[in-house]
Amino acid sequence: MGSATEYNRRDIFKRAAAVTVLAAGSSSLLAACAAGGGGGSGTKGAAPSGSGSATNPFGVKANDPLDVVIFKGGYGDDYAKAFEEMYKKTYSGANVSHLGTQDISPKLQPRFNAGNPPDVVDDSGAQAMRLDVLEKADQLTDLSVLLDAPYLDDPSQKVRDVLLPGTIDQGTIDGKVYSLNYVYTVYGLWYSNKLFKEKGWTPPKTWDDFLALCATIKASGVAPFCHQGKYPYYANYLIMDLVAKQGGADLVKRIDALDPTAFDDPAVLAGVSAFFQIMQKDYLLPGTNGMTHTESQTAWCQGKAAFIPCGSWLENEMIKVTPADFDMAFLPVPSLAGDKMPQNAVRAGAGEPFIVPAKAKNQAGGLEFLRIMLTKEASGKFAAAANSLTVLKDGIGPDVVLKPGTKSSAQAVTAAGGNTFNYTYPDLQTAFETEMENATTDLVNSRITPQQWVARVKAATSKKV
Amino acid sequence: MTIHTDTTGAVPAQRGTDRTRRPSQAQRFADSGGILNVFSHGFLALWALMIIVPLFWIVLGSFKTNAQIGSSAWTWPGNWHFDAFARAWDKGIGGFFANTVIVLAGSLTLTMLLGAMAAYVLARYEFPGNRVIYYFFVAGAMFPVYLALVPLFFMVKNLGQISPLLGLNSYLGLILVYTAYSLPFTVFFLYAFFRSLPTAVHEAAMIDGCSHTRAFFQVMVPMAKSGLISVFIFNVLGQWNQYLLPVTLMQQQNSSDPDHSMLAQGLMNLALQSGYASDFPGLFAGMTIAMLPVLVVYLSFQRQVQAGLTSATLK
Amino acid sequence: MRHRKYPFIVGFLIVPVALYVLLVIWPYLQTFGYSLTDWSGASQQMNFIGLRNYTTLFGDNVFVLALEHNLLLLAVLPLATILLALFFAFMLNVGGRGGTGGVQGVRGAGFYKVVFFFPQVLSVAILSVLFQGVYRTDQGGLLNGVLVELGVEDPNRPWQWLSDPNLGLWCVIGVLVWSGVGFYLVLFSAAMQSVPKDIYEAALLDGAKRGQTFFRITLPLLWETIQTAWVYLAIAAMDCFALVSTMTPGKFYGGGPDHRSEILSTLLMRNFITYGKAGYACAMGVVIFFITLILSVVALRVTRREKIEF
């Protein structure tokens, strides 16, 4: 980022002016910002005095330090540093400390236990703290005050009005919103368009086509399918997508509600059995069942396997090892006969939960940080730095150039129209999710049958942390 | 532990003389030795390979590319550059080493001093409660650390309220915890050692008007040197390999807090980071960097280490 | 002299005892107290719930499984490590070519000792990363790479090592033995060197085979050192947290697949840190405490009898 003093000087003038009007115009500066690496578009001026005013709805004290912890995974943490600069532009006296880590739970849970949590946490990754556990321990701030606060770019709107549908549901526990899932994530299968063109393979639309193609792929010496076996939740993306498409949106809701009868629905067994065909027909990359996400995704990038299930962070996460001409592409999970959802339906929605701990010393600052994150400027910076979309409606200008994988997943979402769905149980039902992952590990190793998988997961619906 | 040399030494010897010697003994002696020799060399060489090969493989891994590491374990490095090392070093391995050295310097000094003091008093002085305190210490050696982990965490946190120098993520706090958890074994071992030392020298010193404290530091400690060295080595290895305690107690309490990670903890973090950055060569390079100074220190001191452990069994 | 004795005793004992009580004994005692509450560990709020944590505990299959695994470790780890270490120590000290020089160690004994001991000084993190590479489930893993190259296994069916429910825990034991043997080898070696060589020579002259000297001479003479080694290894077997939590699959502190490599320390940490069940974790701690106590008492009994024999 450019020189901080320059921002500050400009800021002073802006504060003197009618800030809210200026703030609304900030989105037009997005282009300059995305192209020039964030040079000189400080517009988020707000009078830092007083509490609960229109411009400072949470009563942030300008000099209070802000402690930000970011999950440094697929999206990196450079975007968050840019947000922190934005925060400092408004609250110039604030000392913003930043920690980017992969080790969220081991690093932060002790701080929560000690009553000394940070002010904002991006609680993601394999080591994420469990939201349901935190909620039960009264460790989370109810974000409804944020949702009802005026939107920074256009104070006539509330924050909740500018979010993509489903965002709020994704962070709701027992009727209250505790997390802001910031990144619009699309889940499904991924492949290399280059490899497919080279070999003359057509991305399949139905599961039968998928299996037929897998046979062709295997014959050509490439493993048809690999997954991140050490972390079985990736395989669950595929399994549960098959189930959702077969059973419809209503089934998704029942599963999220841990309704045991949901697993009596034949759609569940149909989806799991379809997935199990991969094992029965021996389409797995050898060794994939024990591989970490890095190992398997690297193997996939090297063309050892054709398909991999993942979320849309994949492209950015693997950017360093992906060959330049790889041409990453997204494939909605192929459809089964009798599916209730159309073929182009995709699991998509808000991911990457950001929370404000209830015992945060600068809770107001934490909320304000989230509000700043939702501006067009911030959303654009995120797209540029992390190569992904945010939950902000029309979050990026046309000038932001997306990489092929993200572009293809965005197109899939557009094609799906209203036919997107998402599960909340992975974030909110720790015990159930863990048990389902254990069952899936056994399933991919053919140690249990699809029937046994369904029985085990059904039994797990009674499990709560 | 004091007895092998004298008592038992005599037993097999006696057994030997009772037997009648056979004429072919010289022949059989050499035969069995020869077979055993091949056999033992074979096994020893195999085990040595099992240790050297994986370690060497890690070092080679730092010169491979990501693709090579993923393809087959047998690929020969194709990237003879030190860029992976530079990336790994940037992640702060030097800092982890420094933190570990600081903490271990403090905790080992304190462990040896306090442990020797307590063991000496318990071993050489009669007073009411002596046995109770001794068993109190010994009992602690039997239980794994994690049993006390939950309350210990809050104890250290509360110490931090007295002074931030003592609390979570502080060197001193961890030094005290390491010391406390090393005391049981140290006391147990040195107790036996001090008991085995002859009393005459000490008594002579006392008669000469030496104070108890001076007698300890100037007479007993030099006499107990070999025992102290053995315990020291045990403690170095034990504390060097601690993982659970630092992972719980040495976490940054604020994002602007300095990173006081111990080496094991820091390297584990590095491993996790490379997972998300898909940087296997960097990870292997980090491990190589972490291995080298240890190798150097170990090779320079291995004689002392072995001699120290010898004294542990000899006295 | 007597009048100066007590101030000295107190002066020497006060600091170590205070530190020990504050940081070791008191937390252990608190563990007992918290185990009777539903404390989450996140706040100071807790309710007394009597023995409910304990009744839940014994209905908890995973806890029983973890306990079994620890007992397995307790049985296998010391036995395997000590046997191997004894074997190597015997080789190094007595296994050399006999003849004119009498009983001696093999050539290069010094080199072997240095190499064998080295894993002990490696940080446990290095062990973890190293062996994740060794046990990698495709051909990029050292073991699978070797086995495929040797034609022992089918490249399309590589072994799953840590991810195999029946193999995972054994893989961890392998690492512990690999890294621990050297230390005990040096320890036993030292003890063997304290045995005068002429005892062996006398026995050999007497017609005993070298193998026999091991059981007739070495083992009885080293008995006490072996017991010490057993105690350390038993303590190590009750912990194993670092390796299991970082190497094995499974959400939060490993222990997978499907709890098949779960041990008490990982289960306790998961309940305390991840699930916010500090009271429950403490109850677990108390049960482990008593199990360790019983085992220690049994061990002490056995040890005592052996001592009388000497």
Global ipTM: 0.83
Total count of domains within chain B: 2
Residues A35-91 have pLDDT tens digits of 333 333 333 333 333 456 777 889 888 888 999 999 988 888 899 999 999 999 888
Smallest Cβ distance to B251: which of A67, A102, A110? Answer: A110
Chains touching C (3+ CB pairs < 8 Å)? A, B
Q: Does C64 touch chain B (CB under 8 A)?
A: no
Residue range A146-169: average pLDDT?
Answer: 89
Compute the C-alpha angle A360/A364/A365, nearest 5°: 85
Question: Is there a single domain that holds both residue B77 and residue B96?
Answer: no
CA-CA distance, B68 to B286, in Å (whole number)? 18
Smallest Cβ distance to B25: which of C124, C198, C205? Answer: C205
Look at residue A52 in the predicted model and tell me its pLDDT: 65
SS3 B243: coil
Interface test with C, best of B59, B162, B313, B315 (most C CBs within 10 A): B313
Look at residue B93 in the predicted model and tell me its pLDDT: 84
Please determine whether the domains at A4-185+350-407 and A187-348+414-460 fall in the same fold group of CATH: yes
Question: Is there a single domain that holds both residue B108 and residue B229?
Answer: yes
CA-CA distance, C250 to A76, in Å (whole number)? 24
- Nearest Cα neighbor of C91 from C179, C188, C235, C227 is C188
Q: Does B46 touch chain C (CB under 8 A)?
A: no
Residues B35-72 have pLDDT tens digits of 666 777 888 899 999 999 999 998 888 888 877 777 77
- Report the topology of domain A187-348+414-460: D-Maltodextrin-Binding Protein; domain 2 (3.40.190)
Question: Is there a single domain that holds both residue B190 and residue B121?
Answer: yes
Question: Is there a single domain that holds both residue B33 and residue B115?
Answer: no
pLDDT-derived band at B292 (thresholds 50, 70, 90) equals: confident
Contact flag B55-C282 (C-beta cutoff 8 Å): no
Question: Is there a single domain that holds both residue B77 and residue B98?
Answer: no
Look at residue C296 in the predicted model and tell me its pLDDT: 77
Interface test with C, best of A103, A116, A127, A133 (most C CBs within 10 A): A133
pLDDT over threshold 70, residue A22? no
Look at residue A262 in the predicted model and tell me its pLDDT: 95
pLDDT over threshold 70, residue A370? yes
Contacts of residue C42 in chain A, CB cutoff 8 Å? 112-113, 137-139
Question: Which residue of chain B has the CA closest to C242?
Answer: B243
Is the separation of the CB atoms in A331 and A415 below 8 Å?
Answer: no
Compute the C-alpha angle B21/B26/B31, nearest 5°: 125
pLDDT over threshold 90, residue A388? no
Nearest-neighbour CA in chain C from B48: distance (Å)? 6
Q: Is residue B299 part of a domain?
A: no
Q: Specify burial of residue C304 (Cβ count, 10 A radius: 0-12, 13-18, 19+).
A: exposed
Structure-token pair, residue C202: 């006398």
Q: CB count, 10 Å around CB of A52?
A: 11
Question: Which residue of chain B has the CA closest to A116?
Answer: B253
pTM of the predicted structure, to 2 decimals: 0.82
Q: Is residue B14 part of a domain?
A: no
Residue range A163-189: average pLDDT?
Answer: 90
Smallest Cβ distance to C43: which of A137, A287, A430? Answer: A137
The residue written with tokens 């403490």 in the block is C282
Contact flag B70-A113 (C-beta cutoff 8 Å): no
Q: Is residue B291 part of a domain?
A: no
Question: Is there a single domain that holds both residue B192 and residue B54?
Answer: no
| Cis peptide upstream of residue B293 (ω within 30 degrees of 0) | no
**Ordered DSSP codes for C195-234:** S-HHHHHHHHHTT--HHHHIIIIIHHHHHHHHHHHHHHHH
Phi, psi values for residue A141, rounded to 5°: -85, 135
Report the DSSP beta bridge partners of residue A163: A392
The residue written with tokens 């034990």 in the block is B238
Look at residue A37 in the predicted model and tell me its pLDDT: 32
Q: Which of A158-162, A407-411, B30-34, C201-205 has the lowest mean pLDDT?
A: B30-34
Question: Is there a single domain that holds both residue B57 and residue B124?
Answer: no
pLDDT over threshold 70, residue A435? yes
Residue range A365-374: average pLDDT?
Answer: 93
Q: Domain range spanning residue B265? A: 92-278
Q: Does B67 touch chain C (CB under 8 A)?
A: no
Look at residue A33 in the predicted model and tell me its pLDDT: 33
- Nearest Cα neighbor of C184 from C283, C294, C77 is C77
Q: Is residue B129 part of a domain?
A: yes
Contacts of residue C228 in chain B, CB cutoff 8 Å? 1
Residue range A348-364: average pLDDT?
Answer: 92
Q: Does A109 touch chain C (CB under 8 A)?
A: yes
Look at residue A109 in the predicted model and tell me its pLDDT: 82
CA–centroid distance for A285 within its chain: 26
Q: How far is CA B136 from CA A3, B233, C7, in A?
A: 61, 23, 21
Question: Is there a single domain that holds both residue B128 and residue B39?
Answer: no
Phi, psi values for residue A291, rounded to 5°: -90, 150
Q: Does C195 touch chain B (CB under 8 A)?
A: yes
Q: How far is CA B313 from CA A419, B227, C113, C157, C227, in A?
A: 74, 9, 17, 48, 12
SS3 A355: strand
Residue range B139-147: average pLDDT?
Answer: 79
- Nearest Cα neighbor of A287 from C139, B77, C211 is C139
List chain A domain ranges.
Answer: 4-185+350-407, 187-348+414-460
Percent of chain B whose predicted confidence (pLDDT) is above 90: 16
pLDDT over threshold 60, residue A270? yes
Q: How far is CA A98 from CA A118, A120, A121, A313, in A?
A: 10, 10, 10, 22
Question: Is there a single domain that holds both residue B274 and residue B152?
Answer: yes
Chains touching A (3+ CB pairs < 8 Å)? B, C
Contacts of residue B154 in chain A, CB cutoff 8 Å? 113-114
CA-CA distance, B106 to B108, in Å (whole number)? 6
Contact flag B264-C222 (C-beta cutoff 8 Å): no
Q: Does B27 touch chain C (CB under 8 A)?
A: no
Contacts of residue C144 in chain A, CB cutoff 8 Å? 287
Pairing of strands A66-71, A120-122: parallel
Question: Is there a single domain that holds both residue B116 and residue B69?
Answer: no
Is the separation of the CB atoms in B135 and B200 below 8 Å?
Answer: no
**Which of 174-193 (C) contact B at CB < 8 A?**
178, 181-183, 186-187, 189-191, 193
CA-CA distance, A201 to B105, in Å (whole number)? 63
Smallest Cβ distance to A139: which of C42, C165, C256? Answer: C42
Q: Which of A195-204, A399-408, B5-14, B173-182 has the lowest mean pLDDT?
A: B5-14
> What domains lie within chain C, and their CATH numbers?
64-309 (1.10.3720.10)
Report the DSSP beta bridge partners of residue A354: A122, A180
Interface test with B, best of C10, C12, C73, C212 (most B CBs within 10 A): C12
Is the separation of the CB atoms in C174 and C84 below 8 Å?
Answer: no
Contact flag B67-A292 (C-beta cutoff 8 Å): no
Interface test with A, best of C258, C261, C267, C277 (most A CBs within 10 A): C258
Q: Is residue B295 part of a domain?
A: no
Q: Does A104 touch chain B (CB under 8 A)?
A: no
- Nearest Cα neighbor of C282 from C57, C61, C42 is C57
H or E segment and range at residue A187: strand A180-192
Residues A206-232 have pLDDT tens digits of 999 999 999 999 999 999 999 999 999
Question: Is there a single domain that holds both residue B33 and residue B64?
Answer: yes
Is the separation of the CB atoms in B196 and B72 below 8 Å?
Answer: no
The residue written with tokens 């139905």 in the block is A206
Structure-token pair, residue C115: 């190499």
pLDDT tens, chain C, 310 aa long? 444 678 888 888 999 999 999 999 998 888 888 899 988 776 667 888 888 999 988 888 899 999 999 999 999 999 999 999 998 888 887 765 554 445 566 677 888 888 998 898 888 888 998 999 899 888 888 888 888 888 888 888 888 899 888 899 999 999 999 999 998 988 888 888 777 777 777 777 777 776 777 777 778 878 878 887 887 788 888 888 889 998 999 888 888 788 899 999 899 888 888 888 888 999 998 888 888 888 877 877 776 644 433 3
Question: Is there a single domain that holds both residue B73 and residue B97?
Answer: no
Look at residue C103 in the predicted model and tell me its pLDDT: 58
Contacts of residue C297 in chain B, CB cutoff 8 Å? none
Structure-token pair, residue A28: 């037009």
CA-CA distance, C63 to C263, in Å (whole number)? 8
At the top level of CATH, the class of A4-185+350-407 is: alpha beta
SS3 A66: strand
Q: Which of B39, B57, B82 is the last residue of a domain?
A: B82
